[in-house]
Structure 1
Amino acid sequence: MKDLIWPKVVGGLLVCLSGVSFAAGPDAAQLELGKTLFKTGAVPACAVCHTLEDAEAIGTIGPDLDELKPGFEQVKKMVQEGAGAMPAFAETLDEKSIDAISAYVVHATGGTQ
């Protein structure tokens, strides 16, 4: 009788998980685009103001992104809208580029998606 319980438990778990969607992380091409935009592609380049070890950036005007470890939505909002001395990039970068920069910063810093 005990042997019949485990298949039911496992089956129940699989049914529960079948409705769960697991978000895929950024692909290598998106991360490479984000890194390029961070270093030189955005005008002004993010690397001018921010420190980010992976990009070999040592800017001191904006926050140190390695220490901050921002989340995806936080980066995206800041890139789109700007804040303080940081300009808004919504008029100069398309959504794909903003998403690529955001995904790259999160990936490079270990922030949250």
Structure 2
Amino acid sequence: MKAQALHGHLDALLLAVLDGEALHGYAVIEALRTRSGGNLDLPTGTVYPALRRLERAGYVSSDWSTVGGRQRRTYRLTGTGRRALDGERAEWREFQATLQTFLGDTPPAAPAR
């Protein structure tokens, strides 16, 4: 799946990946890939700028650490980010339910006359 297909959803996906655990940037990319069964294989040039944008917005915070002799920036969800994620999940459920009425297996009932 290409990054363009995720337009408008990337931030929510990144917040969801960080829900419950702090991860360094490459681990975020790996988590997206793993949780999507390989369908989300996003380049660093897409993910890292989005993480920085989320940090500027106050949705994530980051700290530098050394892992295996390498400097890595680790990202974690903030309280504001958790509230934003809750909102994204609610909007997603509403969007999904709306699309289900058009794209689901059962055709909608005919309007009453």
Same fold (TM over 0.5): no
Higher helix proportion (structure 1 or 2): 1
Normalising by structure 2, we get a TM-score of 0.30
Normalising by structure 1, we get a TM-score of 0.30
Higher strand proportion (structure 1 or 2): 2
Q: Which has the larger radius of gyration?
A: 1
